[in-house]
Amino acid sequence: MSKKTIVVCDHIHQDGLDILANDSEIIFINAADEAKDKLVSEIIPLADVAITRSSTDVDQAFLDAAKNITAVVRAGVGVDNVDIPGSSKQGIVIMNVPTANTIAAVELTMTHLLSCVRKFPYAHNNLKLERVWRRQDWYGTELKDKKLGIIGFGNIGSRVGKRAKAFEMDVIAYDPYIDSSKATDLDITYTKNFEDILGCDIITIHTPKNTETIGMIGKEEIAKMKEGVILINCARGGLYNEDALLEGLKNGKIAMAGIDVFNKEPAIDHPFLDLDNVTVTPHLGANTKESQKNIAIQAAENAIAAAKGISYPNALNLPIKENELPDFVRPYLELVQKIGHMSAQITKSAVKSIRVIAEGPVADHLESMGTFATVGVLTESLGDQVNYVNAEFVAAERGIEISKEVTPNTSGFINRIAVKLTTAEGIIFIAGTVFDENVQRIVEIDDYILDVEPKGTMIFFRNTDTPGVIGDVGKIMADNKLNISDFRLGRDHKQQALAVVRIDGQVTKEVIEALQSLEACISVGYAAL
């Protein structure tokens, strides 16, 4: 068998380079110092596997040159600079290294937390740069007995919680997508009420960046916080609304903030830099020697495994080749992932089980359907941490049961695929089909027969079937300046109805609360695809 070529496009730790150089079964090219135009035009065509970081975009030019590449390893967590759909169409597996910098991110969070309560950077600069000895200017507070609210209790958030407990803090975790025992087993309070977090002395956020979490701390949330609250963000830029955060820092509502990530980077002209109650770092979450070493080693090992065809660790996509799947199957894979994601968004609760049900010829591909549905469900809570390779393993690790069922073809559709999601709050069933030319439709939600295009921002309003409800819903949308782009209604035999309202814009708390206040309302949920 001929040797495979691995190209390193950007700088990684020497230990990773050594692993590649010492493997006699591969050809290793270190192109980190090459000009990007030369890299793409002359070196990428030679590669079977590439290792990249943020300096190399896996864009259309890269893909056009990647005639022989079967896998790309992103040495780090973020894949913002990678065209994953384009890579998938070309049969290229995209992998990242999601856990190598966990401890680095945790410890940076603790660094900002301690720096904020003791105003360490300012005391340091006062003495070292200004040569002023004024101890009375730098009274801080202690972490002991302070209440820490953690938003997102995954790999990083849970470890922050453990360390905070060592400081004798009172820790509260908010994460609707985990089992409460994950927190309570650590003697940490678990809450489903976001207001409990807003009442904490210090708040730190550790969630993926998605439609639900962008700007989840804004002006309204800050107004409900304690006077002198401290906010930390070492996760993703944009989770805190920066304008609201700036206003709170200026008026004193927020005593201090520790910020490592920004909406737009590099943030060398950001207004936060002009304030004297913010500690800032230039996105250093992964910047430790140990983290960089771990990232490089894992990236090198993953690249070698991919080059040899052994495995594709942490793959973020599944290559779909024209000659490997019937044409009619691919849109069903996309549809079932959308259904899974929609189900998780509507319920917003800890998942207990995922059941995938298929009828018709598409049932021959039920295993793949199960994987795509699981990715769709878990992406809502885990973001990039879940992928097509690890989805079922991650589900098992969280105690989530996955099952698949083939049923007789009695629905009237040639093919139908459905997801039955059981959560801590209840059960939701959504079924869909695909018509000619990849026309995807949701055809059933629970017992309601509908015809819904799974697209955009959708509100799911379940109500008693009484006169005037459609008008009430329309008025609420108009009052909140939301245009209705589609309105679908299903009815059952229990005098109940389900409206699926697609809107142009974002669903706000005000909209949800207004809908919930209607006398006919039974439940309200929403999803964005």
- What's the CA gap between 383 and 250, in Å, rounded? 33
Q: What is the pLDDT of residue 260?
A: 97
Beta strands 170-174 and 189-191: pairing type?
Answer: parallel
Place of tokens 């909209």: 511
Task: Tell me the pLDDT tens digit for each residue of 7-21.
Answer: 999 999 999 999 999
Task: Tell me the pLDDT tens digit for each residue of 199-253.
Answer: 999 999 999 887 788 999 999 999 999 999 999 999 999 999 999 999 999 999 9
Task: Tell me the pLDDT tens digit for each residue of 445-491.
Answer: 998 999 999 999 999 999 999 999 999 999 999 999 999 999 999 99
* 102-280 and 329-528 share one fold: no
Asked whether residue 119 carries a pLDDT value surpassing 80, the answer given is: yes
Look up the CATH number of domain 102-280. 3.40.50.720
Radius of gyration of the chain (CA): 25
Please compute, for residue 518, the number of CA atoms within 13 A of its CA located in the half-sphere on the CB side.
Answer: 26
- What's the CA gap between 526 and 241, in Å, rounded? 21
- What's the CA gap between 492 and 66, in Å, rounded? 53
For 112, list phi and psi in degrees, rounded to 5: -65, -40
DSSP secondary structure string for all residues of 425-493: TEEEEEEEEEETTTEEEEEEETTEEEEE---SEEEEEEEE--TTHHHHHHHHHHHTT-EEEEEEEEE-S
Helix (H, G, I), strand (E, B) or coil at 304: helix
Residues 442/430, Cβ–Cβ less than 8 Å: yes
Q: What is the pLDDT of residue 325?
A: 67
Place of tokens 């079937």: 465
Q: Reading across the β-sheet that carries 49-52, which strands appear in turn?
A: 26-30, 4-8, 49-52, 71-74, 93-96
Confidence band for 323, pLDDT divided at 50, 70 and 90: very low
The H or E element containing residue 36 is: helix 36-38
Task: Tell me the pLDDT tens digit for each residue of 152-201.
Answer: 998 899 999 999 999 999 999 999 988 899 999 999 999 999 999 999 99
Asked whether residue 320 carries a pLDDT value surpassing 60, the answer given is: no
Q: What is the pLDDT of residue 322?
A: 43
For 122, list phi and psi in degrees, rounded to 5: -75, -40
> pLDDT over 70 for what percent of the chain?
98
Q: What is the pLDDT of residue 352?
A: 95
Task: Tell me the pLDDT tens digit for each residue of 357-409.
Answer: 999 999 999 988 998 999 899 988 887 667 777 788 789 888 999 999 999 99
For 154, list phi and psi in degrees, rounded to 5: -90, -145
Q: What is the pLDDT of residue 438?
A: 81
Place of tokens 């009828």: 359
Q: What is the pLDDT of residue 161?
A: 98
- What's the CA gap between 488 and 477, in Å, rounded? 15
Q: What is the pLDDT of residue 106?
A: 97
- What's the CA gap between 93 and 321, in Å, rounded? 12
Look up the CATH number of domain 329-528. 3.30.1330.90
Asked whether residue 321 carries a pLDDT value surpassing 90, the answer given is: no
Residues 102/123, Cβ–Cβ less than 8 Å: no
Point out the residues that are catalytic.
Answer: 236, 265, 283
Closest-CA residue to 194 (of 145, 149, 240): 149
Q: What is the pLDDT of residue 81?
A: 86
With b meaning 16 or more CB within 10 Å and e meaning fewer, what string describes 341-372? bbbbbbbbbbbbebbbbbbbebbebbebbbbb
DSSP secondary structure string for all residues of 348-414: -S-EEEEEEEEESGGGGGHHHHHHHHHHHHHHHHHGGG--TTTHHHHHHHTT-EEEEEE--S-SSSS
Asked whether residue 316 carries a pLDDT value surpassing 90, the answer given is: no
Q: Over the chain, what is the mean pLDDT?
A: 92
Look up the CATH number of domain 4-99+290-307. 3.40.50.720
Please compute, for residue 377, the number of CA atoms within 13 A of its CA located in the half-sphere on the CB side.
Answer: 36
Closest-CA residue to 243 (of 208, 218, 225): 218
Provide the residue ranges of all domains of the chain, joining segments of one domain with +.
4-99+290-307, 102-280, 329-528
Tell me the residue type at 485. Answer: S
